[in-house]
Amino acid sequence: MKANFPCLALLSMALFFIGCKKSEEVKPGINGDTATLAAGSTLSAPTYAVETLYGSPYAAGNMDGMGKNARFNSPFGIQIMDDGTLYVADYNNNAIRKISSTGMVSKLSLKQAPGGQYLTKPIYVGVSFRNGNIHVIQDGNFLGEPYDESWIYKANGDFVAASYYFYSVRSVLARDPYTDIFYYSTADQIQQHILDQNGNIGGVLIPIDVSKLALSFGGCGSCLRSYSFPAIAIGYNKVIYFSTGDKIFKYTPGGVTQRIFNKLAF
């Protein structure tokens, strides 16, 4: 291997000098890399195309099938698994759909609760990587009231728990990559979406310093119940990122609540 090193070095130098022509110049590329352009030419922006993989953009429906033969009706939240499987909250079909790695779309068979509750208008779905449990946030509840309900099912569709509170807005599901625990937005808090000691959906609340968020409800303390964080993400740095209004914040493992990207307007 050592005997071949001089030859490789000479070949690399030859290629370098061949590439360095006076008639060419180097300009920054789209992603910060460099691109070699002929003199007098301009750098053109890349073109992108949107392709439909599953369902049809022009035909809403409720049909299982392969790829574009399937039909959705207002799909919303998506969960991507390690093996490429997708889970979709199919809002107007009141269903959670599964898209296999081969492209087959099917509807999950999720059982009703013993009290008669059933899944309606799901907006977010999260599936555990470890045990396959299915977590769902829905818009409103099965009674048609505007109080958002959340669910946990076993991987086989058996009911585990359902929960909602009056005036409480729930949204978003974010998975912690270290613990496989999902977090969700409820009222003005971010909370674990797990079973508590009483068998209800709850869990540890993240102690966000709400005073750092500059929330204003005009003295209406109860209005916090109808508040939620529209976006949550948990990074591999164990930081919880979340948004409120036109601002983005982070909550660090050290317990600090801090706004980020202060100079950007969203």
Q: What pLDDT score does 167 carry? A: 77
Q: Global pTM?
A: 0.79
Q: Is 116 left (phi over 0), alpha (psi -120 to 50) or beta?
A: left
Rg of the chain over all Cα atoms, to the nearest angstrom: 25
Q: Which residue has the tokens 């939240």?
A: 77
Binned average pLDDT, 10 residues per bin, the chain of 266 residues? 39 38 41 48 78 90 96 95 96 97 96 91 96 95 86 96 85 94 90 90 91 68 69 95 90 95 83
E strand segments, 101-148: 104-107, 122-127, 134-138
Q: What pLDDT score does 164 carry? A: 85
For the four alpha carbons of 73, 74, 77 and 83, in that order, the dihedral sign comes to: positive
Q: What pLDDT score does 41 carry? A: 60
For the four alpha carbons of 163, 168, 169 and 175, in that order, the dihedral sign comes to: negative
Contacts for 175 with CB less than 8 Å, ≥ 6 apart: 126, 129, 181, 182, 183, 234
The torsion angle over the Cα atoms of residues 233, 220, 168 and 147, rounded to 10 degrees, is: -130
Q: What pLDDT score does 58 carry? A: 87
Q: What pLDDT score does 142 carry? A: 82
Q: What pLDDT score does 190 carry? A: 93
